[in-house]
């Protein structure tokens, strides 16, 4: 029977890129919680943060995984970087399927997201420092929420995808 594969990790770790390709090679459906929320709300994440605040967005994340729990399995699900911070979400994720934590260093993340304006939490004066402290705070949550930890350092998307089936067996 097909299970779900869930990808968690900090912004820029590659969850969506890896997830999309992984879904394709396994012929699974691909779901991205950020995209699900944007569609549901019919507006962008920066707009939701600006108009409703972070807490409202976090409630939508919980609603999204609750809905997915009721659906058929066989999906690759990429979740927003902050979703595993809520304890309730960590429990729901574990029920939803096999959770893989894509782990990167703050340096790698910074290089990947420095030009990006689509992530409201990184629109600060010192994004480098913000990334470092947030990653440190979130590390225990990512560890608790995951079944498998997979380092993304110096690996291509294809390399990561080729490692995942072995981890699932
Ligand atoms: C967030 C990560 C983003 C998005 C929102 C908040 C976070 O998703 O959900 O901007 O708190 O880390 P990605 O991890 O897909 O960038």
The one-digit pLDDT tens for each residue of the chain (169 residues) are 789 999 999 999 999 999 999 999 999 999 999 999 999 999 999 999 999 999 999 999 999 999 999 999 999 999 999 999 999 999 999 999 999 999 999 999 999 999 988 999 999 999 999 999 999 999 999 999 999 999 999 999 999 999 988 778 6
The pick from 8, 15, 34 for probing ligand 1's pocket by mutation, whose C-beta has the most ligand atoms within 8 angstroms, reads 34
* Closest-lying ligand 1 atom to the alpha carbon of residue 15: 15
The whole-model pTM stands at 0.96
Rounded to whole angstroms, how far apart are CA atoms 100 and 91?
14
Q: Which residues of 125-140 are buried (b: 16+ CB within 10 A; e: fewer)?
A: eebeebbbebbeebee
Nearest CA among 38, 49, 55 for reference residue 123: 49
Q: Which atom of ligand 1 is nearest to the CA of 78?
A: 15
Q: Where are the domains of the chain?
A: 4-162
What distance in Å separates the CA atoms of residue 122 and residue 96, rounded to the nearest whole number?
29
| CA of 13, closest atom in ligand 1 | 14
Q: CA 89 → CA 57, 61, 86, 110, 126, distances in Å?
A: 13, 8, 5, 26, 29
Please tell us whether the domain made up of 4-162 is placed in CATH 3.30.450.20. Answer: no
């Amino acid at each position: 029977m097909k299970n779900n594969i869930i990808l968690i990790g900090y912004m820029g770790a590659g969850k969506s890129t890896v997830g999309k390709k992984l879904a394709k090679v396994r012929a699974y459906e691909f779901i991205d919680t950020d995209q699900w929320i944007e569609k549901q709300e019919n507006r962008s994440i920066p707009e939701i943060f600006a108009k409703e605040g972070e807490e409202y967005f976090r409630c939508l994340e919980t609603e999204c995984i609750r809905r997915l729990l009721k659906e058929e399995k066989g999906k690759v699900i990429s979740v927003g970087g902050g979703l595993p911070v809520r304890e309730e979400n960590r429990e729901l994720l574990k029920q939803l399927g096999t959770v893989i934590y894509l782990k990167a260093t703050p340096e790698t993340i910074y290089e990947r997201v420095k030009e990006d304006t689509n992530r409201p939490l990184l629109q600060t004066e010192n994004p480098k420092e913000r990334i470092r402290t947030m990653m440190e705070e979130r590390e225990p949550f990512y560890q608790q929420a995951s079944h498998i930890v997979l380092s993304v350092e110096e690996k291509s998307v294809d390399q990561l995808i080729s490692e995942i089936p072995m981890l699932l067996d």
